[in-house]
């Protein structure tokens, strides 16, 4: 029987424990428990993918994927805390408190996934799910750095694709024919960028070539999956680097067409976007929370602002109203590429339409902005605009100061309860034409 000779060697290179740096201390106790129990029951049990790669790089992996020759049902029989998920490909989730260890049975590439696939006498077809052996499982993985298997039986690493050397050389290399693998699943283009940014790896020329040729396939990916990828791309602490790589290779344009167009036209918007990306990275470094709606708001700000100006011209509506209206339209267009859940679009729209209200600094209504549930995000957004010269520094300073003032100081700042004519601009008084006195 021949096995994808095109994709590499059939026999793994086995790197014994003494020849690699992967220690069990890099793996969670739960992951080790799962491995040991499978092993004791007589099954093969490996850690695979990102966790082996990250352990080699001493990056303290947080999620663990186990690969085994036990079927999902056999896995479930071993663990009380186990649930089977997935219709097409059944996976076992073994739960330990909040941690979930994903256990997958070795699979051969689905029929049709590689046109040189020979269906295998060991592989069983269950729905369209083909169970296989480890030396089949490896070829459906994306990059060589994601295709190392750590064997709990003797702590060795099994390498079929050259991933061990590629990690040491910091290279992102696709398994198999790059063009074909990108066409099979265009998300792999984003994954190449993500790993390059996260790990500081160089992307192999053949992979770059395939991305440059196939970037236009990205819109074929379901919008919900692209949202998941968007989160991973921009919330991993390397958002700015990721942004540059995505733009360099024509992928950002496919994800955020309206944003990309404005970035090309407007240096100020580019400065603002970069400031936001750096800010996101800094917050993650400091262990602070980040919400995707903030960055989405930044990306869509310029398209929304421009459309708002158009919608407002000749209409009787406030700037805030026009921003809210334009946000609906722009977000609807964006959803065709990346489906953003309502729990992010609603606060995002609020954050953006509050922007004009920072200009009003007098009176009770102006002060009430401090109590708005979206004040914090809107304020951060405005400060960032001010940082890059797109909002008034004085306004930003005002709203920074009033947050820490006492009630009395604050009332003074907003000129509440003060006599008129103390220097502040008066609202022009509406003149009412007096009716001519009627003659009796
Ligand atoms: P991280 O967890 O840091 O995002 P990872 O490499 O663990 O990185 P996962 O999405 O958790 O990525 O996937 C686990 C493994 O499954 C990968 O290492 C890879 O071997 C395989 N894999 C995931 N997505 C794909 C894909 N789109 N095509 C081929 N193989 C994939
Ligand atoms: Mg992972």
Please tell me the distance between residue 159's alpha carbon and the centre of ligand 1 in angstroms. 16
Write down the H helix ranges in 80-186: 134-137, 163-168, 178-184
- Sequence-distant (≥ 6) Cβ neighbours of residue 82 within 8 angstroms: 75, 76, 92, 93, 94, 95, 103
CA–CA separation, 374 vs 58, rounded Å?
39
Tell me whether residue 290 is in a domain.
no
Q: Are strands 202-203 and 171-172 parallel, antiparallel or unpaired?
A: parallel
User: Which residue(s) pair with 157 in the sheet?
Assistant: 15, 150
CA–CA separation, 172 vs 170, rounded Å?
7
Task: Answer whether 146 contacts ligand 1 (Cβ < 6 A).
Answer: yes
Tell me whether residue 244 is in a domain.
no
Please tell me the distance between residue 433's alpha carbon and the centre of ligand 2 in angstroms. 73
Candidate from 28, 46, 50 with most ligand 1 atoms within 8 A of CB, to mutate:
50
Reduced to 3 states, what is the DSSP secondary structure of residue 284? helix
Task: Answer whether 186 contacts ligand 1 (Cβ < 6 A).
Answer: no
Which residue, by CA, sits nearest to atom 28 of ligand 1?
142
Taking 50 as the threshold, does the pLDDT of residue 41 lie above it? yes
Ordered DSSP codes for 250-279: T-HHHH-HHHHHHHHH-HHHHHHHHHHHHH
Which residue, by CA, sits nearest to atom 27 of ligand 1?
188
Q: With contact defined as beta carbons under 8 Å apart, do 51 and 63 qualify? A: yes
Tell me whether residue 67 is in a domain.
yes
User: Could you tell me the CATH number of the domain that includes residue 71?
Assistant: 3.30.460.10
Please tell me the distance between residue 143's alpha carbon and the centre of ligand 1 in angstroms. 9
Reduced to 3 states, what is the DSSP secondary structure of residue 19? helix
Q: What angle do CA 432, 365, 400 make, to 5 degrees?
A: 135
Q: For all residues of the chain together, what is the average pLDDT?
A: 91
Closest CA to 399 of 376, 423, 418, 422: 376
Among 52-56, 84-88, 124-128, 265-269, which is the least confidently predicted range? 124-128
Task: Answer whether 63 contacts ligand 1 (Cβ < 6 A).
Answer: yes
Q: Which residues are part of the catalytic machinery? A: 63, 65, 142
Tell me whether residue 324 is in a domain.
no
CA–CA separation, 36 vs 22, rounded Å?
17
CA–CA separation, 156 vs 34, rounded Å?
17
Which tokens belong to 21?
A: 């740096």
Closest ligand 1 atom to residue 49 Cα is: 18
| Each residue's pLDDT tens digit, 298-333 | 999 999 999 999 999 988 899 999 999 999 999 999
Share of the chain above pLDDT 70, in %: 88
CA–CA separation, 13 vs 164, rounded Å?
9
Phi, psi of 242 (to 5 degrees): -60, -45
Tell me whether residue 61 is in a domain.
yes
Enclosing domain of residue 39: 13-176
Task: Answer whether 187 contacts ligand 1 (Cβ < 6 A).
Answer: yes
Taking 60 as the threshold, does the pLDDT of residue 1 lie above it? no
Closest CA to 231 of 141, 291, 297, 299: 291
Which tokens belong to 182?
A: 């990108």
Name the one residue in this structure whose structure tokens are 């065709």.
Answer: 336
Taking 60 as the threshold, does the pLDDT of residue 426 lie above it? no
Task: Answer whether 50 contacts ligand 1 (Cβ < 6 A).
Answer: yes
Task: Answer whether 142 contacts ligand 1 (Cβ < 6 A).
Answer: yes
Closest CA to 300 of 267, 261, 271, 265: 261
pLDDT range class, residue 437, cuts 50, 70, 90:
low
| Each residue's pLDDT tens digit, 357-366 | 999 999 999 9
Which tokens belong to 380?
A: 């951060």
Burial of 115 (0-12, 13-18, 19+ CB in 10 A): exposed
Ordered DSSP codes for 207-244: HHHHHHHHGGGGGGS-HHHHHHHHHHHHSSS-HHHHHH
Crossing angle of helices 342-353 and 319-335, rounded to 10°: 150
Q: With contact defined as beta carbons under 8 Å apart, do 291 and 344 qualify? A: yes
CA–CA separation, 74 vs 41, rounded Å?
10
| Each residue's pLDDT tens digit, 183-241 | 999 999 999 999 999 999 999 999 999 999 999 999 999 999 999 999 999 999 999 99
Closest CA to 106 of 199, 3, 14: 3
Residues whose beta carbons lie less than 5 angstroms from ion ligand 2: 50, 63
Structural domain total, the chain: 1
Which residue, by CA, sits nearest to atom 10 of ligand 1?
50
Tell me whether residue 58 is in a domain.
yes
Tell me whether residue 151 is in a domain.
yes
| Each residue's pLDDT tens digit, 247-304 | 999 999 999 999 999 999 999 999 999 999 999 999 999 999 999 999 999 999 999 9
Tell me whether residue 371 is in a domain.
no
Please tell me the distance between residue 346's alpha carbon and the centre of ligand 1 in angstroms. 31
Q: Is the pTM of this model over 0.85?
A: yes
Please tell me the distance between residue 370's alpha carbon and the centre of ligand 2 in angstroms. 41
């Amino acid at each position: 029987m021949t096995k994808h000779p095109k994709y590499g060697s059939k026999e793994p290179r086995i790197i014994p424990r003494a020849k690699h740096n992967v220690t069990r201390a890099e793996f969670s106790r739960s992951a080790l428990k799962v491995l040991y129990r499978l092993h004791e029951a007589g099954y093969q049990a490996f850690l695979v993918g990102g966790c082996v790669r990250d352990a080699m790089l001493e990056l303290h992996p947080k999620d663990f994927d186990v690969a085994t020759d036990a079927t999902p049902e056999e896995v479930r029989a071993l663990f009380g805390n186990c649930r089977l998920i997935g219709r097409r490909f059944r996976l076992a989730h073994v739960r330990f408190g909040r941690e979930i260890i994903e256990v997958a049975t070795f699979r051969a590439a689905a029929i049709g996934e590689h046109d040189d696939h020979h269906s295998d006498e060991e592989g069983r077809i269950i729905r369209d799910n083909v169970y296989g052996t480890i030396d089949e499982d490896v070829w459906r993985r994306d990059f060589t750095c994601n295709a190392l298997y750590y064997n709990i039986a003797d702590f060795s690493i099994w390498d079929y694709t050259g991933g061990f050397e590629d990690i040491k050389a910091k290279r992102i290399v696709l398994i198999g024919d790059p063009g074909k693998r990108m066409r099979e699943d265009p998300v792999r283009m984003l994954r190449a960028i993500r790993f390059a940014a996260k790990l500081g790896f160089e992307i192999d020329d053949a992979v770059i070539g395939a991305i440059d040729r196939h970037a236009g396939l990205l819109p074929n990916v379901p919008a919900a999956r692209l949202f998941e990828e968007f989160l991973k791309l921009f919330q991993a602490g390397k958002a700015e680097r990721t942004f540059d790589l995505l733009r360099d290779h024509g992928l950002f344009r496919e994800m955020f067409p309206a944003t990309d167009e404005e970035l090309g036209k407007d240096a100020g918007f580019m400065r603002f976007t970069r400031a936001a990306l750096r800010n996101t990275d800094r917050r993650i470094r400091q262990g602070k929370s980040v919400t995707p709606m903030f960055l989405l708001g930044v990306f869509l700000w310029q398209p929304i602002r421009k459309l708002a100006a158009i919608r407002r011209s000749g209409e009787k509506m406030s700037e805030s109203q026009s921003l809210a209206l334009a946000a609906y339209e722009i977000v609807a267009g964006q959803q065709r590429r990346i489906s953003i859940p309502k729990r992010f679009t609603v606060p995002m729209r609020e954050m953006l339409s509050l922007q004009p209200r920072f200009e009003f600094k007098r009176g009770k209504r102006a002060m009430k902005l401090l109590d708005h549930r979206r004040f914090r995000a809107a304020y951060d957004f405005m400060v960032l605009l001010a940082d890059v010269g797109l909002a008034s520094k004085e306004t930003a300073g005002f709203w920074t100061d009033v947050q820490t003032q006492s009630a009395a100081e604050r009332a003074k700042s907003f000129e509440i309860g003060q006599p008129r004519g103390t220097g502040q601009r008066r609202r022009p008084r509406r003149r009412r034409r007096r009716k001519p006195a009627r003659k009796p």
